[in-house]
Amino acid sequence: QVQLVQSGAEVKKPGASVKVSCKASGYTFASYGISWVRQAPGQGLEWMGWISANNGNTHYAQNFQDRVTLTTDTSTSTAYIDLRSLRSDDTAVYYCVRKPMAKVPDYWGQGTLVTVSS
């Protein structure tokens, strides 16, 4: 069965960087993309970006273009999100989501809480 398993919770100081991983199983990793979505405490869902696991093409939300890098490692079927220059308002649960081309995002990871605090 399709599974996306994310890395554990992180606590970071303002100005630091964080890298969250998302290990996929149960499907051909390179045949799909991965979207990243975050949710601040008590807030809605915010789409951050998408990467093709096939060729590494990316699309970033305008709000994150200068601070986020999405990568994949097809040898381990793992996607990564790297968020730099962390601020307190980056405190959120970060989700990876499988995204087929031209189809609906379907499977979600369990989420990773990133807390930014001095």
Partner 1 sequence: DIQMTQSPSSLSASVGDRVTITCRSSQVISNYLAWYQQKPGKVPQLLIYAASTLQSGVPSRFSGSGSGTDFTLTISSLQPEDVATYYCQKYDNAPLTFGGGTKVEI
**Is 104 a binder of partner 1 (CB under 8 A)?**
yes
Give burial (CB, 10 Å; 0-12/13-18/19+) of 116: buried
Q: Should residue 32 be labelled a site residue for partner 1 when binding is judged by CB under 8 A?
A: no
Among 54, 108, 113, 115, binds partner 1 (CB under 8 A): 108
Q: What distance in Å separates the CA atoms of residue 23 and residue 50, rounded to the nearest whole number?
A: 15
Based on the shown chain and the rule CB under 8 A, indicate whether residue 113 belongs to the binding site for partner 1: no
Residues lying near partner 1 in the complex (CB under 8 A): 35, 37, 44-47, 49-50, 59, 61-62, 95, 99, 102-106, 108-111
